[in-house]
Chain A
Amino acid sequence: MDSENLVSMQDVSLKFGDRVILDSINIEIPRGKVTTIMGPSGTGKTTALRLIGGQIRPQAGTIMVDGLSVTKLKRKELYELRKRMGMMFQSGALFTDLSVFENVAFPLREHTELSESMIRDIVVMKLHAVGLRGARDLLPSELSGGMARRVALARAIALDPMMILYDEPFTGQDPITVGVIMELIRKLNDSLGLTSIVVSHDVAEVSKISDKLYIISNGKVIESGSPTELQESSSEWVQQFLHGRPDGPAKFHYPANDYAEDLISHAK
């Protein structure tokens, strides 16, 4: 068992039909750190998270999580492993028919035999950690997007997992909410001794809170390292991505035939 890396993906390839999503990628997630997987939209970042959670299986390669091979686990063992993982989905994915309190209590009721008063105390503590102790009686429909994600985070840490997976935690949020979620990711990681994996393309935000970054594009790992190492990367593509330049190795134009010819042929 590799004690330094909690998650290790080796030569993982995944195809949907003819479309290559991940092409023999290697990702190592160090224990106790915040690691971010970045990349343009639609490059298989979220897919990488789903592979770690065992929701989909790769065609090739191995994925080890805490010494267990996710791809080879039986369903029951996989569910046992998932109890030690929390995941925050992009939309929050709260159960819309349950209150905030019941949402956070859900994993506790499902997986523990704790008494009602014990569950209440744990839920209150988890909600307090994300600053929403006062919102416990609200329904998900009454929450703002940022609050919903914080409740989802409280739910993800309800069972005191060893690791949290964040799927696009900042997308579509206002600057204050982004700041709050950034703070929470870093603080929870350090105070609870977690390992965090963040999937995001918000370069500035994740650079501040991450210990290690991976940039993937077209199913391959383009670059990896600490935020400062990436800033000094010699790759033109990485520089374009990090600084958000509209044109560069990644083209502005969708592949097309010659522009002049396109116009002339229409005139005929």
Chain B
Amino acid sequence: MQNKLTSPIQSVGRKTIGSIQRLGRGGLFLFSTLVAFPGLIKEFSLVLKQIYSVGVLSMQIIIVSGLTVGMVLGLQGYNTLVDFGAEESLGQMVALSLVREMGPVLTALLFAGRAGSALTAEIGLMKVTEQLPAMQMMAVDPYKKVIAPRFVAGLIAMPLLAAMFSAVGIIGGYIVGVGLLGVDGGAFWSQMTSKVDLYDDILNGVIKSIVFGWVAVWIAVYEGYDAVPTTEGVSRATTRTVVNTAFAVLGLDFILTALMFGGV
């Protein structure tokens, strides 16, 4: 009886302690990774290899999604703006939506699905197949050889992918707005260039994409490294990467947006 009464409370406590422990391990993990960064200067080829698999191979999904999102924004924006006779502001609307919000957020979510899950699975399976302990037994630090290169590659790739997403999205908006719906091409570009501010909009968007990239890649490599070394463990870690990245990115996006644009 007493057990039934206390067990929900116990389980809340257990889960809370578990989360805090994971956060602590994640922090230690991040620290060990950062310490390994300077060693990468000598072995930058490791990072380049990872930029290829994390960044270049993600380009396909980023470009296709960016184009589609831009086209939809063009279409929806036109329908709203045309009521006010303001369809010439379409370029501004598409560009601001993409650069401030859609670019960084959607890129981070797609990045978690495409590259983050792959990173988690790869590192998790290296653990399952004893490659990480083998490396340690060969007196080679896995943080230097495996974790840090992937981390840095993600940090470099994410903002570039977000920029690519926004650029392709603007082209998508242009195709729909100017090509299909007949908005004036000159007005589309001039409205955009005059109303999009380099610091307020673009720089803030870039800051967002850097922060999201940091979070996404941290979660991905940490979940892989912390995975229970079994088939089931890796599968759960991969799921956690995608889900936790989504929560973290969306939550952080609200905070960052409030800080950057809240005062306006």
Contact = CB atoms under 8 A, between A and B. Distances in A.
A93 B134 CA distance: 6
B129 A53 contact: no
B138 A55 contact: no
A166 B140 CA distance: 19
Contact of A89 (B126, B133, B140): B133
B138 A89 contact: no
A85 interface: yes
A29 to B, nearest CB: 17
Interface in B102-129: 126, 129
A93 B141 CA distance: 16
A5 interface: no
Nearest to A82: B139
A152 B131 CA distance: 11
Nearest to B140: A110
The residue among B126, B138, B140 with the most chain A CB atoms within 10 A of its own CB is B138
A145 interface: no
Interface string A92-117: 01111000000000110011000000
A213 interface: no
Interface residues of A, number: 22
A90 interface: yes
Contacts of A96: 126, 129, 131
A95 B138 contact: no
A80 B139 contact: yes
Interface in B123-167: 126, 129-131, 133-134, 136-141
B139 A111 contact: yes
Contacts of A53: 137
A7 to B, nearest CB: 15
A109 B130 CA distance: 20
B130 A91 contact: yes
The residue among A83, A93, A94, A96 with the most chain B CB atoms within 10 A of its own CB is A93
Nearest to A95: B131
Contact of B138 (A50, A90, A91, A110): A110
Interface residues of B, number: 12
Given A93-B129, A96-B129, A87 B139 contact: no
Contacts of B138: 82-83, 106-107, 110, 155
Contacts of B134: 87, 89, 93, 152
A93 B129 CA distance: 6
Contacts of B137: 53, 55, 82, 85, 87
Interface string A192-230: 000000000000000000000000000000000000000
Interface string B154-193: 0000000000000000000000000000000000000000
Nearest to A107: B138
B129 to A, nearest CB: 6
Contacts of B129: 91, 93, 96
A35 to B, nearest CB: 18
Interface string B215-237: 00000000000000000000000
A55 B139 CA distance: 11
B133 A93 contact: yes
A82 B138 CA distance: 6
Interface string A126-163: 00000000000000000000000000100100000000
A83 B139 contact: yes
A93 B140 contact: no
A87 B140 CA distance: 13
A146 to B, nearest CB: 16
Given A79-B139, A96-B126, A110-B138, 11 more contacts: A55-B137, A80-B139, A82-B137, A82-B138, A87-B137, A91-B129, A93-B130, A94-B131, A107-B139, A110-B140, A155-B138
Interface of A: 50, 53, 55, 79-80, 82-83, 85, 87, 89-91, 93-96, 106-107, 110-111, 152, 155
Which are the 9 A-B pairs with shortest beta-carbon distances?
A: A93-B134, A93-B130, A79-B139, A82-B139, A87-B137, A89-B130, A83-B139, A107-B138, A110-B140
15 contacts: A50-B133, A55-B136, A55-B137, A83-B138, A89-B130, A93-B129, A93-B134, A94-B131, A95-B131, A96-B126, A107-B138, A110-B138, A110-B140, A111-B139, A155-B138
